[in-house]
Structures are given as structure tokens and as C-alpha cells.
């Protein structure tokens, strides 16, 4: 009984403390995840980052298409699940444990996010600070960046383009 309560406590804490730093866990629908990757139109070997990668759906779908993927996840349980479920893709998938707001995000070809409206402006500033080697594509599921017109919009997916100078 004590062991069971301890496990419940750990699970509750893991899923709840994250809301102090960002969106709670809610997985993107598989169809939308596939569409998001289609929209990004990346070539094999290019890199996509999922900021708040959950149990790793985007990471697995992208790795299956021979893309390199980097996920950032703060919930230790989701980090572990995503880590274990992506081992078969080897070095193609890297998952960083921690708060992505406090990490330096490397240059990549694309970023996927499923956050909350209140974080979208902060996200825009964070993305604008990435030292880009070239342009970067961003797809946000469900939520738009305030004051920024998406380049494309489809089925709740909002596509933005960042250039080296922006
Ligand atoms: C709405 S879920 C999206 C999960 C995944 N990207 C997907 O689409 O299926 C948001 C995820 O971001 C994680 N998260 C929230 N804030 C975070 C932060 N500051 N740093 C790292 N992960 C964070 C949560 O634990 C959760 O797994």
C-alpha cells in the first residue's frame, strides 16, 4: 500500500509540476503530427526539434522518415517513456531532459510545438534568439503566435518561417 501511494505521488508530482514551466501533457493526434511533418517538408537528414516532446510521438514519426530529431521534456516519466521508445532509432533521436526555456536551442531546420496561448509570445522571442545557420520553419499545433501572420494554416497547424536576420 505504501509503495502504491508512493508511485501515485511520483506520477502526480511528475505531471503537475511541469505546469509551472509550460503546457501540461496532452499528446498531439497522430494525423495532425503526420500533417505537421508533411507541412515542414524536410529532407532526409535534416533536423526537427520538439519543444516539450511528451511521450515522443513526433520524435518517432520524424525518425521513421529518416529525419534527425531533438526533443526537450521536463516530465521525468514522459522523458523515460520517450527515451525507451526511440532507442531503436539510435543517434537519429536525441532527448534532452529539462526546461527548454533555460536551454540554448541549437540551430535546426524546423521546430514543432504544442504549447498554450500564453507561451506563444515567449516562444517567438526564444526562437528569434536561436543562432540560425539558415532559415528555420516552425509549426505550432493549435495556437498562433500573437501579432505574427502564419505563412500557412491548415487543420489547426500554424506554419511560420524564421530567417537568419529575423
Ligand atoms: C501539450 S504536450 C505536447 C507533447 C508533444 N509535443 C505532442 O505534441 O504530443 C506539452 C509537453 O511539453 C512538456 N513541457 C511543458 N513545459 C516544458 C518545459 N518548459 N520544458 C520541457 N518540457 C516542457 C510537458 O511535459 C508536455 O509533455
How confident is the model over 101-121, as a mean pLDDT? 96
Residues enclosing ligand 1, CB less than 6 A? 18, 21-23, 25-28, 50, 52-54, 57-58, 72-75, 78, 99-101, 114
Global confidence as pTM = 0.95
Give the integer Cα–Cα distance in Å for 41 and 66.
Answer: 13
Residues 6+ apart with CB under 8 A from 65: 37, 42, 44
Query: Does pLDDT of 1 surpass 80?
Result: no
Give the integer Cα–Cα distance in Å for 30 and 32.
Answer: 5
How confident is the model over 20-48, as a mean pLDDT? 96
Mutate to test the pocket of ligand 1, among 23, 123, 139 (most ligand atoms within 8 A of CB): 23
Query: Does pLDDT of 165 surpass 70?
Result: no
CB 159 within 8 A of CB 138: yes
pLDDT in tens, 58-97: 999 999 999 999 999 999 999 999 999 999 999 999 999 9
- Write the CATH number for 60: 3.40.50.150
Question: Which residue segment(s) compose the domain that 32 sits in?
Answer: 2-162
Total domains, the chain: 1
pLDDT in tens, 114-141: 999 999 999 999 999 988 878 999 999 9
Distance between Cα 1 and ligand 1 center (Å)? 31
Amino acid at each position: 500500500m505504501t509503495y502504491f501511494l508512493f508511485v501515485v505521488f511520483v506520477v502526480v508530482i511528475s505531471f503537475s509540476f511541469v505546469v509551472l514551466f509550460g503546457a501540461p501533457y496532452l499528446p498531439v493526434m497522430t494525423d495532425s503530427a503526420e500533417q505537421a511533418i508533411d507541412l515542414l517538408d524536410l529532407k532526409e537528414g535534416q533536423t526537427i526539434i520538439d519543444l516539450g516532446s511528451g511521450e515522443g510521438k513526433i520524435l518517432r514519426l520524424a525518425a521513421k522518415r529518416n529525419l534527425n530529431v531533438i526533443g526537450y521534456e521536463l516530465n521525468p516519466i514522459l522523458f523515460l517513456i520517450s527515451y525507451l521508445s526511440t532507442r531503436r532509432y539510435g543517434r537519429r533521436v536525441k532527448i534532452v531532459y529539462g526546461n527548454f526555456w533555460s536551454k540554448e536551442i541549437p540551430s535546426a531546420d524546423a521546430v514543432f510545438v504544442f504549447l498554450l496561448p500564453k507561451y506563444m509570445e515567449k516562444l517567438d522571442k526564444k526562437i528569434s534568439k536561436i543562432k540560425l545557420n539558415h532559415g528555420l520553419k516552425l509549426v505550432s499545433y493549435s495556437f498562433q503566435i500573437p501579432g505574427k501572420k502564419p505563412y500557412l494554416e491548415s487543420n489547426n497547424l500554424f506554419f511560420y518561417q524564421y530567417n537568419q536576420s529575423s
